[in-house]
Amino acid sequence: MVGTFTAKLATQAEAFEMLQSDGRSLRVGFENDRLNEIRQGQSSGISIRAVKGGNIGFSYSSNPEELDAVAESAIRMAPYGKKYDYEFASESKSAHTRPYDERCGNLNPDQMVAICNHIKDTVKAIDSEALVDCGVSGGIGQSRVVTSNGQDCGEMESSFSFSVSLRLAEEGNFVQDYRYGIANEIIPEEKILAEAEEVAREFQLARKNAPFKKGKYPVLFAPSALSDILMPIAVCINGSTIEKKVSPFVESLGQQLFDKRITIVDDPFIQEGPSGGLYDGEGVPTQKRGIIEKGVLKGFVHTLSTAKRCGHEPTGNAQRGVSSLPNPGLHNIVMAHGDDDLEEMLKKTEGGLYISQMLGTFTSNFLAGQVSGNISLGFLVDGGQRVGRVKNCALNVNAFDLLKSGVIGISKKREWVGDRYLPYVLVDGVQISAR
């Protein structure tokens, strides 16, 4: 059907790109210590970018049967659309393979309920008062991109995820903590339970408050908080901020912007990475690429459009849902480990903070390098140990300055935080505001 349709579309539009996707998923969710919901989802969609009169029109429908209506709408939109000043993807096959676990599409709800029960039991054995929300979900899907330039690529996707969230409301003290994991294959139960145990132990520690005054301190960022600190870099190497020249890094390729110990790679092929893929949202084969190597800025991430406008090569970083236009984005962010032992780093954090979670940092002025927000889960470090939670304090740091001249140590140990594989980073001289 698609072949007949695209042949017809080729006669109506000067160029086109069609994206089709469909998928199904299953989720078991516990809320407030009990099984709450079994959720089953099915979704599909088709979108078309069509060029007419040198401009691009775009249209989308959740009904894959509406091919003709979507094409007609895209062509009708074209006179108003963006200029077609690049080429849709041409024929090119990825040389890589992608992990695909078909078991993610055949999950048994009873087994998922059992895993959630085991998560709850694991937490309760450590802290019986914690209220547990948790969930396990999985699904499979497929996507296909066809262009008038000869590209016709598709791939199967599988995903599996879990989440564990603990909370306890006491007068004057709410404690919350969580962990989650995403992978493109089933995550073994023992690994999920190990995460549940770890979060329960951190939660217990967080129930005790520690006194804290405003001032400058060494701060050990756990991978979950480092992820926030890296946001300004992710925004400022993004092709859309480069194209519009609002990024401070426009002229900085090849420059030493950060500490020599900092290396960041965008890796769509790393086995455990959930955001991998063989092709990006425009059908361009993806690449493993250095973004920062030993502190030197090495690359930006582009769609076909931003690459063309910046005079750069496409990078295979177009990200999109089927209903939206592509934007540049990183796949899996992998930061190189350092040489430091985590226990030694904790000792060096003496009198300072171990920050596990930040709140509301997404509202920061990332283009200026700022990261600001409430420290929603931070611990005072004393005698090489986390001794209690600090509350009612906030930070507002310039991540570019911090990662250039404030780094004391980077851990050997790394952890996955969603699609980011990050170490612990110890920095000095962080101004913490407190009441």
Partner 1 sequence: MKEQLTELAKRAEADYCEIRVEDSRQTSIAFRGQDLDNVQESHMFGGNVRACVNGCWGFVTFNDVSTVEQRVGEAVRNARAAAAASVEKSVLAPVDAVEDIVKLDLKSDPRKVKLEDKINLFGAYNQRMLDKSGVTSTSLRYFDKYTRLYFANSEGTWLDREAMDMGMGGSAIARANDTTAAGSTSEGGRNDFDRFRGLDAKFDEAAKNAIEAAQSEVVEGGSYTVVCDPHLAGVFIHEAFGHLSEGDNVAEDPRMQEVLKLGRKFGESYLNVWDTGLDVGLRGYLPYDDEGVPTQKTMLINEGELVGRLHSRETAGRMGEKPTGNARALNYRFPPIPRMRNTCIGNGPHGKLEDLIKDVKLGIYAIDSAGGQTNGELFTFTAGQAFMIRDGKLAERVRDVTLSGNVFDTLRNITGIGGDFYVQDGAGGCGKGGQMPLPVSHGSPHIRIKDVVIGGK
Task: State which of positions 134-173 bind partner 1 (CB under 8 A).
Answer: 167-173
Task: State which of positions 240-279 bind partner 1 (CB under 8 A).
Answer: 240, 244-246, 248
Nearer to partner 1, 73 or 184 (CB): 73
Binding residues for partner 1, total number by CB under 8 A: 79
Binding segment for partner 1 among 12-20, 64-72, 140-148, 331-339 (CB under 8 A)? 64-72
Interaction between residue 1 and partner 1 (CB under 8 A): no
In the complex, what is the shortest distance from the CB of residue 430 to partner 1, in angstroms, rounded to a whole number?
10
In the complex, what is the shortest distance from the CB of residue 357 to partner 1, in angstroms, rounded to a whole number?
9
Contact 291, 299 (CB under 8 A): yes
> What x-and-dash track marks residues 286-325 binding partner 1 by CB under 8 A?
-------------------------------------x-x
Closest CA to 334 of 223, 176, 208, 175: 223
**Which residues, in sequence order, are bridge partners of residue 138?**
26, 160
In the complex, what is the shortest distance from the CB of residue 201 to partner 1, in angstroms, rounded to a whole number?
20
Q: What is the C-alpha separation between 30 and 102, in angstroms, rounded? A: 25
The pair of three-digit structure tokens given for residue 222, joined into one six-digit string: 């756990």
In the complex, what is the shortest distance from the CB of residue 32 to partner 1, in angstroms, rounded to a whole number?
4
Contact 275, 159 (CB under 8 A): no
Q: What is the C-alpha separation between 382 and 345, in angstroms, rounded? A: 12
Nearer to partner 1, 44 or 149 (CB): 44
Binding segment for partner 1 among 154-162, 280-288, 346-354, 425-433 (CB under 8 A)? 425-433
Interaction between residue 209 and partner 1 (CB under 8 A): no
Task: State which of positions 23-52 bind partner 1 (CB under 8 A).
Answer: 28, 31-44
Closest CA to 262 of 335, 330, 332: 335
List 174, 213, 251, 343, residue binding partner 1 (CB under 8 A) = 174
Contact 220, 381 (CB under 8 A): yes
Interaction between residue 54 and partner 1 (CB under 8 A): no
In the complex, what is the shortest distance from the CB of residue 69 to partner 1, in angstroms, rounded to a whole number?
8
Nearer to partner 1, 92 or 396 (CB): 396
**Which residues, in sequence order, are bridge partners of residue 386?**
381
List 361, 414, 417, 422, residue binding partner 1 (CB under 8 A) = 361
Nearer to partner 1, 96 or 320 (CB): 320
How big is the chain, counted in residues? Answer: 435
Extract the runs of DSSP E, i.e. beta strands, from 231-305.
264-266, 289-293, 296-297
List 214, 260, 347, 412, residue binding partner 1 (CB under 8 A) = 214
In the complex, what is the shortest distance from the CB of residue 257 to partner 1, in angstroms, rounded to a whole number?
13
Interaction between residue 396 and partner 1 (CB under 8 A): yes
Residue 231's contacts (CB-CB under 8 Å, 6 or more residues apart) are 361, 362, 364, 366, 371, 399
Q: What is the C-alpha separation between 323 and 60, in angstroms, rounded? A: 5
3-class DSSP state of 117: helix
Nearer to partner 1, 65 or 313 (CB): 65
In the complex, what is the shortest distance from the CB of residue 111 to partner 1, in angstroms, rounded to a whole number?
12
Contact 290, 298 (CB under 8 A): yes
Nearer to partner 1, 203 or 269 (CB): 203
Q: What is the C-alpha separation between 265 and 270, in angstroms, rounded? A: 11
Q: What is the C-alpha separation between 224 and 217, in angstroms, rounded? A: 19
Closest CA to 156 of 21, 271, 268, 319: 21
Task: State which of positions 177-206 bind partner 1 (CB under 8 A).
Answer: none
Q: What is the C-alpha separation between 244 and 328, in angstroms, rounded? A: 13
Binding segment for partner 1 among 79-87, 180-188, 267-275, 418-426 (CB under 8 A)? 79-87
